[in-house]
Chain A
Amino acid sequence: MYPASFEYHKAESVDQALAALAENPDLKVIAGGHSLLPAMKLRLAQPPALLDIWGIQEMKGITRDGDHWVVGAMTTHADVLRSDLPLFPEVAGWVGDPMVRNRGTIGGSLAHADPSADYPAAALALGVEFVIRGPGGERTVHADDMFQGMFESAVQPGELLTHIRIPATTQASAYEKFRHPASHYAVVGVAVVRHADSSVRAAYTGAAEKAHRLNKLEDAVNGSQAVPTGLVDAGDLLGDRFASAEYRAHLVDVLAARAIERLG
């Protein structure tokens, strides 16, 4: 439970944080700390210096901007849970426990791109846009391009995910999760959203190296067909002692059917 020693820096603004990152490439950004600190305590991660962005006020809070919601990256899971956002409140309820939700942040989780995290499936199904700032200014990344691999998001060294933009026009949504009995992370999580134009987007998390869209499911539902099985190929999935790839593929089918049923 004792991490290796490290330097601690704290940023009060996005500009200050970006300047610090430009100056010291060894800085590791820490938000709520619920992924990084456990790894540091087990000495699986030994960053020489941390940059704490949890207190940056301009990155906190949920506001409405026309037909989008704008959510600061440092908004806690607890605040997401209590909000009027589409789908995300339900998903936030699956994250950790009250202590984790009071400290962990939506941006921290999404930028970390944990393959078992809940939010990425919701972000893909909602078609969230990610607002990222770096030395070269601000850019926007669509959810389909955000999750690039295991613990690998579109946020590059020296950049910060500052906000996410969520379409506020969705008609219905559901998240179905089968959680690991120990970690409570997703063994499989399936998110489905019916958008303003009545089209359905769907995605799964937990089963592969990153969250993916469920194209087969979307095609079937948007083509007014029954929910098929065999939505994903077990060969593309991860397996471990608790759940093999074959079982996870099966769970995707089961949870997708349940989520679609809930859409009504």
Chain B
Amino acid sequence: MSETRTDKYFGQALKRKEDPRFITGTGNYTDDMVLHGMVHAAMVRSPYAHAKITGINTDSVKDMPGVIRVLTGQDVQDAGLGSIPVGWLLPDLKTPAHPAIALTEANHVGDIVAVVIAETRAQAEDAAAALEVDYDALPAVATTHAALADGAPLVHDDVPGNVAFHWEIGDEAATTEAFKGAARKVHVKLRNHRLVANPIEPRASLAQFTPAGGDYLLYTTSQNPHIHRLILAAFVMSIPEHKLRVISPDVGGGFGTKIFQYQEEVIVLLASRLIGRPVKWTARRSEAFVSDAQGRDHDTEAELAVSEDGKILGFRVNTHANLGAYQTLFAPAVPTYLYGTLLNGVYKIPAIHAKVTGVMTNTVPVDAYRGAGRPEATYLIERIVDMAAHELNMDPAELRRQNFIQPDEFPYQTPVALVYDSGDYEPALDQAMQMMNYAALRDEQARMKGGKKILGVGLISFLEACGLAPSALVGQLGAQAGQWESSLVRVHPTGKVELYTGSHSHGQGHETAFPQIAADELQIPIEDIELIHGDTGRMPYGWGTYGSRSAAVGGSALKLALQKITAKMKKIAAHLLEASEDDIEHEGGVFRIKGAPDKSKTFFDIALMAHLAHNYPADLEPGLEATAFYDPKNFVYPFGTHIAVVEIDTDTGHVKLRGYGSVDDCGPLINPLIAEGQVHGGVAQGMGQALLEEAAYDEDGNLLAGTYMEYAMPRADDVPFIQHGHTVTPSPHNPLGVKGIGEAGTIASTAAVANAVMDALWHEAGIAHLDMPYTAEKVWRALKDARGSQPQAAAD
């Protein structure tokens, strides 16, 4: 499948059709939209992590220039708006109310307590800064540790003990049994720290209410406009869905954080209705830090049972997941079904048991962030497997190899619910080791030991599950949404084609990749095809883009719709060529009679006749468009091996990521250039967590890194050249055979880079584990302490 098929678009590294407008600054983002009479909203946000709101003096700003209205939680209540709902329910989940504007209590720094609407953005910001709000500060909790302590202050009175849920998966008794006989028990206590997503485009929303028809229009930065419409119409505003049109135009990155229903979207809709003018809000970067849902934040204790010869026997995990102050759309699912079910990794593990406790704290809500649960699972298992290899004095690659699920063992039922449908892990491992000269790296590491610069090699073999499916299964697991996808193909009389998808592109390159699929199926030039997405007023229903689902689910829906089109075109061709439909073949860009290739009709001939219907089959509907809905039979399971190489300056503790190689298997590649770009961005994002980024809070719930002066994003010179390879194991169950690639880089690279740092520190000084991020002082101090005390000699 991997050879270049120059006669096909599928598989070609085409440059992205959407890029010219992005790189020339002519994209159309929500903040670019201007509606007649538009006014501006500025949010007044709580400076306290936890406080009673004792008074809001709206008179304090009503005479300021341009001020139109101040909204408070009372206005939300008076309008009868519902709480922002959670989209994934777990058994006995305790879900606190999440009003669009806090009414009596602010629960995190950044929680919205009032809104100022004014004629200009500057006037709104000035008045928001001047609004007098009285607070009674309450004790706050910022970490799972503080929130679960005896007598801890409650974030919400209706969530006793700050525990939103207890969840578990696997077989506790079997796991206990597996540990009894184990020669080695590798134990780790680790923290998967919190991150801010930081898409380059801050969130923005613009609402327009038209009183005459009672219609709402909402432009918003969404990865899934239909989900926004469903939640806003059905759950929050109690209006018919057809009275709300949600448009998500060009979106500058999502990374999960633009999946969710946010307070500000409700606020601009309400404000527009109340004042009768379009209302826009665009986040300042500093607002994004305290209002975009954040990622990760797990405190975990885990133990791996292994035999003396490195066979994994059992795995047990206890995780406390910090959910923040409210539960946003997928929050309960991320640390449970997207984490616990992934703890098997790529290995044959006879017994696994995992417990997860969801904990409310006075911090920004936590939800899906690129990878969503799978990076946390991958980091945990790959870290502890490396620790096992170190303890057993085995090469980490070889320990992995001997525990891989073998190709003939698929479909493979894991002890944590998933059935892996396909996989072949060893070729990816071999290719990655060869690509990076693994053996030579180990020699170099030995040579550098004890020097001013030391080397670490982090190797991880990972698996992820994406394209959540089928809908019936995710429904049983608590999802309040379907997980199928739709596509509409519309052929115009001239033979030009519009594709519509319920998926959404916010950097993934759909406008190039989807037409590549269509051009092959229709056998027409790709220039004749355009993809349209992101508008509930134009597309069939869809569930949007997250969890690396667009190609596998949305692309498959497109394939089915295209097949309906070509089937109908064959009927029309048969009629025009006076042949039986069975004798028509679609080859070389024409519909022709088998065995009589000179008798043919072009795509254009048939498209035109479908619309003219002058000479047309009697029993066939005119027109040429088709819609398909595709509900996958299973997840897809991309996998691969990544290798990170770090050099540590032992004088300063500075870690430099010197090299990185990835071998990914996401099935056949629609567009290798886009796939590789997804891996590059993903690797950068994942190494950011390992080395640079940390959304730390102080004990009072103040974010300590709330600007780019403190929050370190990876920059070009932090990321090395990334070597890239592929193996191709098609998904056996979707019509394209494709799997996902959008999150793989992030899922893999955090663990790979962390293992590289710890590999260096283990070989140099016998340090078994340190928590990320590996900032210079942390590494320097660990080396200094280990060398100073020399308690554990390195295993070699």
Which A residues have a C-beta under 8 Å from some C-beta of B?
1-2, 4-5, 42-43, 178, 180-183, 185, 241-244, 247, 250-251, 254
What are the 4 tightest A-B residue pairs by CB atom distance, in nearest-first order?
A: A182-B712, A181-B712, A2-B125, A247-B777
What CA separation (Å) do A242 and B696 show in the bound complex? 11
Q: Give the distance in Å from the alpha carbon of A250 to the alpha carbon of B704 in the complex.
A: 25
Asked whether, in the complex, the Cβ of A242 is within 8 Å of the Cβ of B285, the reply is no
Q: Is the CB of A247 within 8 A of B781?
A: yes
| Residues of B contacting A5 in the complex (Cβ-Cβ under 8 angstroms) | 122, 126
Q: Which chain A residues lie closer than 8 Å to B776 at the CB level?
A: 178, 243, 247
User: What is the interface of chain B, defined by CB distance below 8 A to chain A?
Assistant: 121-122, 125-126, 129, 284-286, 651-652, 654, 691-692, 696, 704-705, 707-713, 718, 775-777, 780-781
A-B contact pairs, 8 of them (CB 8 A): A4-B126, A42-B286, A43-B129, A181-B712, A182-B710, A242-B775, A244-B777, A254-B651
Q: Do B711 and A1 touch (CB < 8 A)? A: no
CA distance A251 to B122 in the complex (A): 44
B705 in contact with A4 (CB, 8 Å): no
Q: Which residues of B contact A180 (CB under 8 A)?
A: 712
Q: Is the CB of B780 within 8 A of A178?
A: no
Which residues of A have CB within 8 Å of B707? 42
Interface contact A178-B654, CB-CB below 8 Å: yes
Closest to B781 in A: A247
B284 and A2 within 8 A (CB):
yes
Q: Which residues of B contact A2 (CB under 8 A)?
A: 121-122, 125-126, 284
**Given contact pairs A2-B125, A4-B126, A42-B707, A250 touches B713 in the complex (Cβ within 8 A):** no
Name B125's closest neighbour in chain A (CB-CB).
A2
Instruction: State A247–B785 Cα separation when bound (angstroms).
Output: 13
A40 to B122, CA, bound (A): 13
Q: Do the beta carbons of B652 and A251 come within 8 Å of each other? A: yes
The answer for the CA separation of A146 and B780 in the assembled complex, in Å, is: 34
Closest to B283 in A: A1
Bound CA span A4–B776, Å: 38
Output the least CB separation between B130 and chain A (Å).
Answer: 10
Q: Smallest Cβ distance from B648 to chain A, in angstroms?
A: 14
Contact partner, A241, options B122, B286, B704, B713, Cβ 8 Å: B704
A181 to chain B minimum Cβ distance, whole angstroms, is 4
Please indicate the chain B residues that have their CB under 8 angstroms from the CB of A4 in the complex: 126, 129
* Contact pick for B708, options A178, A183, A242, A254, CB 8 Å: A183
Complexed CA–CA distance, A182 and B775 (Å): 11
Instruction: Note all chain B residues with C-beta closer than 8 A to A241.
Output: 696, 704-705, 710
A250 CB contacts on chain B under 8 angstroms:
780
Task: Indicate whether A1 sits within 8 Å of B710 (C-beta atoms), given known contacts A242-B775, A243-B776, A247-B780.
Answer: no
Q: Is the CB–CB distance between A182 and B711 below 8 Å?
A: yes
A254 to B775, CA, bound (A): 17
B264 CB to closest chain A CB (Å) equals 16
- CB neighbours of A251 from chain B (8 A): 652
A181–B692 CB distance below 8 A? yes
Closest Cβ of chain B to A205, distance in Å, is 17
B704 and A182 contacting across the interface, CB-CB below 8 Å: no
Residue of B nearest to A42 (CB): B286
Which residues of the other chain, A, contact B704 by a CB distance below 8 angstroms? 241
| In the complex, residue of chain A having the shortest beta-carbon distance to the beta carbon of B705 | A182
- The one of A43, A181, A183, A185 that contacts B775, using a Cβ cutoff of 8 Å: A181
Nearest B residue to A248 via CB reads: B777
Closest to A188 in B: B652
- B112: shortest Cβ distance to chain A, in Å? 17
Query: How far, in angstroms, from A32 to B201 measured CA to CA in the complex?
Result: 26
Q: How far is the CA of A211 from the CA of B80 in the complex (A)?
A: 59
CB neighbours of A1 from chain B (8 A):
284-286
Closest to B773 in A: A181
- Other A-B pairs beyond A5-B126, A178-B776, 14, CB < 8 Å: A1-B284, A2-B121, A42-B286, A42-B707, A181-B718, A182-B692, A182-B705, A182-B710, A182-B713, A185-B709, A241-B710, A243-B777, A247-B781, A254-B652
Q: Could you tell me if B652 and A178 are in contact, using CB atoms closer than 8 angstroms?
A: yes
Q: For B775, list chain A residues within 8 Å (CB).
A: 181, 242
Distance A241 CA – B776 CA, assembled complex (angstroms): 11
Chain A contacts of B654 at CB under 8 A? 178
What B residues does A185 contact at CB under 8 A? Answer: 709
**Which A residues touch B705, using CB under 8 A?**
182, 241
How far, in angstroms, from A172 to B691 measured CA to CA in the complex? Answer: 35
CB closest chain-A residue, reference B692: A181
**Which of A185, A242, A244: most chain B Cβ within 10 A?**
A242
Complex: chain B residue closest to A43, CB-CB:
B129
Contacts of B125 in A (CB 8 A): 2
Task: Tell me the minimal C-beta distance from B117 to chain A in angstroms.
Answer: 15
Q: Which residues of chain B are near A242, meaning CB under 8 Å?
A: 710, 775, 777
User: What residue in chain A is nearest B65 (Cβ atoms)?
Assistant: A5
Cα separation A133 to B129 with both chains bound (whole Å): 38
Residues of B within 8 A of A243 (CB): 776-777
- The distance in angstroms between the C-alpha atoms of A87 and B685, with both chains bound, is 36
Chain B, Cβ-Cβ closest to A244:
B777
Complex Cα–Cα for A5 and B64 (A): 13
Output the least CB separation between B555 and chain A (Å): 38
Task: Give the interface centre of A181, A250, A254 by most chain B CB atoms within 10 Å.
Answer: A181
- Which of A43, A182, A250 is most buried by chain B, counting CB atoms within 10 A of its CB? A182
